[in-house]
Amino acid sequence: MTVALVLASSSPFRRMLMENAGLTFESRAAEIDERKIEAGLEGASPDQVALTLAKAKAVDVSRHFPGALVVGSDQTMSLGSRVYHKPKTLAEAKENLLSLSGKTHRLNSAIAFARDSQIVWEHVAHADLTVRELNETFVDRYLSRVGEKVYGSVGAYQLEGEGIQLFSKIEGDYFTILGLPMLPLLEKLRELKAIDG
């Protein structure tokens, strides 16, 4: 039996979003070096970085599933021209959070579909998140409470948990924030007759 739809990701959140939407699919992580690809994108916009990585993931996984529609996705977080990465230490997480204090940053969530190593569709959705004014004492307490969870998120926060306390305003849909813009994804799947429309 051929697989009609494949998610090029090992992210439990992205898998959950597709499962909750009632989609039948397989998932497989792409074997790409994201930092190496990013290094070749100097001067690229945060949108371009996210889209390039999403396409690379979709194309890589599509090699293993002939004829299948493969969904690749990636998300960047940006404040002006600065692009953030997942923190490697608590000190880095603290610095990132304090740099966002009182400012609005953007999540750039890209999706791309590939079939037989060819990109057939691409899209970038945005969410703008305003962090309230934070003081160092609160950030230290927050980081000690959430612990190692901060390493799993580029912004050192998870909105579905205590991270919601960091914000004063959020503009954008929940799916885009989690890194998989489901509404445009489902619309394109219906258009391609990949799911029941």
The predicted structure's pLDDT at residue 3 = 58
Whether 173 contacts 137, CB under 8 Å:
no
Question: What confidence tens digit (pLDDT) does each residue in 66-82 have?
Answer: 999 999 999 999 998 88
Length of the chain, please?
197
Which CATH number characterizes residue 49's domain? 3.90.950.10
Residue 38 lies in a domain: yes
- Report pLDDT digits (tens) over 70-124: 999 999 999 988 889 889 999 999 999 999 999 999 999 999 999 999 999 999 9
Give me the pLDDT at residue 48, please.
Answer: 94
Residue 178 belongs to a domain: yes
Note whether residue 30 is domain-resident. Answer: yes
Q: Which amino acid is at 187?
A: E
Asked if the structure places residue 14 within a domain, the reply is yes
* Spatial distance between the Cα atoms of 195 and 56, rounded to a whole number of angstroms: 24
Q: Which residues contact 125 (CB under 8 A, 6 or more apart)?
A: 109, 111, 172, 173, 176, 181, 184
* 183 found inside a domain: yes
Q: Average pLDDT of 11-21?
A: 92
**Residue 154 belongs to some domain of the structure:** yes
CA distance 30 to 105: 28
Q: Give the rounded percent of residues in the chain with a pLDDT score beyond 90.
A: 78
> What whole-number distance in Å separates Cα of residue 74 and Cα of residue 36?
15
DSSP-derived secondary structure for 142-193: HHHHHGGGGGGSTTS--TTTGGGGGEEEEES-HHHHHT--HHHHHHHHHHTT
Residue 17, domain extent:
5-191
Whether pLDDT at 197 is above 90: no
182, 17 in Cβ contact below 8 A?
yes
| C-beta separation of 93 from 140 below 8 A | no
47 occurs within a structural domain: yes
Paired residues of 26 in beta bridges: 6
Looking from the CA of 99 toward its CB, the CA atoms found within 13 Å total 16
Q: Is the pTM value of this prediction over 0.95?
A: no
Catalytic residue among 33, 47, 60, 74: 74
128 is catalytic: no
pLDDT at res. 113: 98
> How many folded domains does the chain comprise?
1
Q: Is the pLDDT of residue 1 over 50?
A: no
Residue 55 lies in a domain: yes
**Per-residue pLDDT at 116:** 96
Rounded Cα–Cα distance for residues 134 and 95 (Å) = 12
